[in-house]
Structure 1
């Protein structure tokens, strides 16, 4: 079948090398479109136009749009590395957290796929690529001497913090950027002072929000709390 003509305004992905399509190229193009236009603009037909291929050819690599979106999530999470042999588990978790934040800021439109989509899928049915950070983190923590149950608690606490942080950091904080007064910039002046005196008093703090610093503070609280309440039950496995 001859591929349909491609509208130059729609083809914003490089055509596959030699005209041949692959799963990797398809997912890379889907990620490019989502980065620019958002998940709601993604469709199999839209992606086919961008690649210069017939829509039916995409179904060889993704059974439907849901499978395509799962593949995009896997593509992004493939960039998240966890070193299970690191003897300093708090430092490794901190490094993972920083990576995760960078990925979220690089691909903000993909964050809903990373944060909310897995909740609708039983753990064992999720794409394997989305489970690898979990498996590697469990390996890191059990090598450090934690029980598998405690390792899972630590993972959940860490990614609960991370997901909440990136959702908060990516939301629009400024109501009117042309205003010089922080209360007006954030629109907090609309809140009755008798009902929200403390929130209004935080205008300057909210306006000076630093995502990186906020994450570090959250990690300090989390990791310090974990080390104070959870202790390894076995001798850490030595790194080969």
Structure 2
């Protein structure tokens, strides 16, 4: 006869994957600020201490989520056209960052040294080097492109746009501000198309980057 054990129920099997999934549930429901060992443990129905076998505290949870999201980034195959290649990478990055809007700031701000974190960096550098940028210049230009993408996406997911939001009341406030430049541009300041803003910013940055490479090559 098999003896039935009495007492506390068995702890569910934990893995890094199940912990990441639980952390995303917390973020999707209550935002990044709600993430902690206890809140994630509650979702999993385990003691918070058991999570330390898989992640190193709250920072470990946040890094694991960022790595998971970046790990799902599908980078496009290079087409040999620097402008098209950089645009394709930027849009792939945006699509993955917005897969879980509440977690997007993690993808955009966590400093990751893992392969997941370095893959987009390598893809951009490869395009810049192939376009003729020397190694040091390629790094400078990479940082310009990343700053543009990250800044634009952070505004998209973390806050309402400055003086924008498709709000008629906002437009009325702007038009009555008495500030000449604000009044003249009020209809446009009161509108915000997220995808159009991203494309405009990225295209502007890519144009400047490629022009700088061409200028360096002409010297």
TM-score when normalising by structure 1: 0.73
1:221 aligns with 2:207: no
1:113 aligns with 2:113: no
Matched length? 210
1:167 aligns with 2:167: no
- Mapped partners of 2:95, 2:76: distance in 1: 17
> What is the CA-CA distance between 1:47 and the residue it aligns to?
0.6
Task: Give the 3-state SS of the residue equivalent to 2:98 in structure 1.
Answer: helix
Please tell me whether the aligned partners of residues 86 and 127 of structure 2 are also in contact (alpha carbons under 8 angstroms). Answer: no
Please tell me whether the aligned partners of residues 167 and 190 of structure 2 are also in contact (alpha carbons under 8 angstroms). Answer: no
Unmatched 5+ residue regions in structure 1? 6-18, 119-124, 235-240
1:103 counterpart residue number: 96
Q: Aligned-pair RMSD on alpha carbons?
A: 3.2
1:149 counterpart residue number: 136
- Mapped partners of 1:232, 1:148: distance in 2: 15
TM-score when normalising by structure 2: 0.79
- Mapped partners of 1:51, 1:178: distance in 2: 40
TM-aligned CA distance change 1:87 to 1:44, over 3 Å: same
Alignment of 1:47-66 (within 5 A): 47-66=40-59
Unmatched 5+ residue regions in structure 2? 1-6
1:91 aligns with 2:74: no
1:78 aligns with 2:64: no
Please tell me whether the aligned partners of residues 84 and 136 of structure 1 are also in contact (alpha carbons under 8 angstroms). Answer: no
> What is the CA-CA distance between 1:178 and the residue it aligns to?
11
1:137 counterpart residue number: 124
- Mapped partners of 1:98, 1:114: distance in 2: 14
> What is the CA-CA distance between 1:225 and the residue it aligns to?
2.0
1:208 aligns with 2:196: no
Bigger helix share: 2
1:20 aligns with 2:13: yes
Please tell me whether the aligned partners of residues 166 and 191 of structure 2 are also in contact (alpha carbons under 8 angstroms). Answer: no
Please tell me whether the aligned partners of residues 155 and 161 of structure 2 are also in contact (alpha carbons under 8 angstroms). Answer: no
- Mapped partners of 1:163, 1:146: distance in 2: 22
1:188 counterpart residue number: 174
Please tell me whether the aligned partners of residues 129 and 135 of structure 2 are also in contact (alpha carbons under 8 angstroms). Answer: yes
Please tell me whether the aligned partners of residues 28 and 102 of structure 2 are also in contact (alpha carbons under 8 angstroms). Answer: yes
1:39 aligns with 2:32: yes
